[in-house]
Amino acid sequence: MYAACVKQMVAIHETIATNRLQFAMHITQVCEELTTVHKDTDRSRKQLKDASERYERALRDSESALDKAKAKQEATSDAWDKARQALRTDLPRGAASPPTGPTGLSALFAKPPEKEEEAARHRAARANDAYQTQLAATLALRNEFQRSQLPSLVHGLKEVNDECDVALQFHLANYVRVPIYKQDTDGPDAQGTDLANVSWNPDDYASDIHTLASAIKLFLRSLPDSVLPRSLARQLLQAARMPDARVQLLTLHDLINGLPEPNYCTLRAVIQHLDRVALRAARNQMHVHNLSIVFGPTLMHGGAVAVAQTHETANEMHLQCRVVEVVLSNCRIIFEPDEA
């Protein structure tokens, strides 16, 4: 009896040690995954910050050029006014009063007042045209920044924050896993608990659908290259700009059906699932457009190498969403009938 108790105690301690080791390994894994989340979030935040700084710098440069054009326009206008004034005060030939213009040797090389006025008028006209052109460009750039780029940047920052928040919830849910003693009426314990049978209970940390969706997005964004590879990024973005919907669909159909087999199968599985989600949009409010906003940058992120080479702009993110929206809206056409 004593030997059996000692044996059971040793087994319990071995189980406790094993569970503690598993818990330590799990904590290490959670730490590594949280580090990855931090790096991805910081990278996305820096991309948006760099894009914002580029837009603001371009706007400042345009406004500075506008100020210079305005100063030049005012200077040439003043010069033209002076030339016109000189032309009006210049006496006609045969007048008794002495001339007021340059005298001596300089008078030989001086332009007639008419030519001076004409040259000043042309300079003023060119300066005014340049000012009007720069003014229109600055106003267009300012309107684009305030109405399109700035809202897109804010929306992108909110998406990054939401994705980070859901990822943290997912990993913290994994962190709070605790050993749960299974109930076993056949065990040696008088209360029906087999203390040697200790395991993790997944029901205690079950995640909701938002956490699962974030985990899928995090996995797709962690791939070395995106599902829609960066080698086709330029062609895909060009297709998104096409005004003709039919040509756009045919172009995307050819590009997608030319993907490598792993990329094609993964994209098909994701799009088909999103199509089923969109069919229930009346209940879940996830229409095709909303799904494309969520999964566009995920399916076309381009990997860490692309991020190091080029910065994603808000306009590119919009085109990425457009690509996914067209593919999702026409998934039964783009993919083979027996696959859709």
pLDDT tens figures, 249-306? 999 999 999 999 999 999 999 999 999 999 998 888 888 988 888 888 889 875 443 4
**Spatial distance between the Cα atoms of 66 and 309, rounded to a whole number of angstroms:** 32
For the chain, residues classed under CATH 1.20.1270.60 are 2-90+112-200
Could you report how far apart the first and last alpha carbons of the chain are, in Å? 65
For the chain, residues classed under CATH 1.10.555.10 are 223-334
Q: Does residue 17 register a pLDDT over 90?
A: no
For 39, 219, 223, 307, 321, the CA distances from 304, given in Å and listed in that order, are: 11, 14, 9, 5, 19
- How high is the mean pLDDT of the chain? 78
Q: What digits encode the pLDDT tens for the residues 98-136?
A: 455 555 445 555 567 788 888 888 999 999 999 999 999
HSE-CB at 330 with a 13 A cutoff on CA atoms is 16
Domain 223-334 has CATH 1.10.555.10: yes
Q: Which of 5-19, 200-214, 243-257, 308-322 has the highest average model confidence (pLDDT)?
A: 243-257
Q: What digits encode the pLDDT tens for the residues 64-99?
A: 999 999 999 999 999 888 888 887 876 454 444 445
Residues 327-336 have a mean pLDDT of: 88
Predicted TM-score (pTM) of this structure: 0.45
pLDDT band at residue 328 under the 50/70/90 scheme: very high
- Residues making up the chain, counted from first to last: 340
Q: Which residue has the higher pLDDT, 50 or 104?
A: 50
HSE-CB at 186 with a 13 A cutoff on CA atoms is 0
Tell me which architecture the domain covering 2-90+112-200 has in CATH: Up-down Bundle (1.20)
Residues 167-188 have a mean pLDDT of: 53
pLDDT band at residue 329 under the 50/70/90 scheme: very high
Please tell me the least confidently modeled range out of 2-16, 85-99, 196-210, 273-287.
196-210
